Amino acid sequence: MASDRNVEKAKDVLEDGAEAVDKAAHATADTVTRAAHRAKDAASDALDQGSDALEEALLCAKDVIRQHPITSVAVVAAVAYLWGRIRG
């Protein structure tokens, strides 16, 4: 009889431990999911900001080229020449 009680106690302890592990696993999964969502949102915001900055830079470049077309062509030619010298 004493061994039956010990077996029952062991089963109860194991069940309690399994429940605690299950709760901890769910809590960890929830925490990781929330962190992943925050990281995704941050990356999306950074991408949007980068896109906006690139669009703004392109608009500025277009304006400069329109205002100074000959100088722009000369600068591009100089950069291409230097790039060719560096690469070649």
Q: What is the pLDDT of residues 11-50, one digit of tens each?
A: 888 888 889 899 999 999 999 999 999 999 999 999 999 9
The whole-chain average pLDDT of the chain stands at 92
d(C-alpha 46, C-alpha 42), whole Å: 6
d(C-alpha 38, C-alpha 46), whole Å: 12
Longest alpha-carbon distance in the chain: 102
Residue 1 clears pLDDT 80, i.e. is over it: no
Per-residue confidence band for 58, with pLDDT thresholds at 50, 70 and 90: very high
CA distances for 17 relative to 4, 5, 6, 31, 76, angstroms: 20, 18, 16, 21, 71
Tokens 């900001």, located at residue:
49
pLDDT the model gives residue 10: 83
pLDDT the model gives residue 33: 95
Take residue 53 and report the two structure tokens written for it: 């900055």
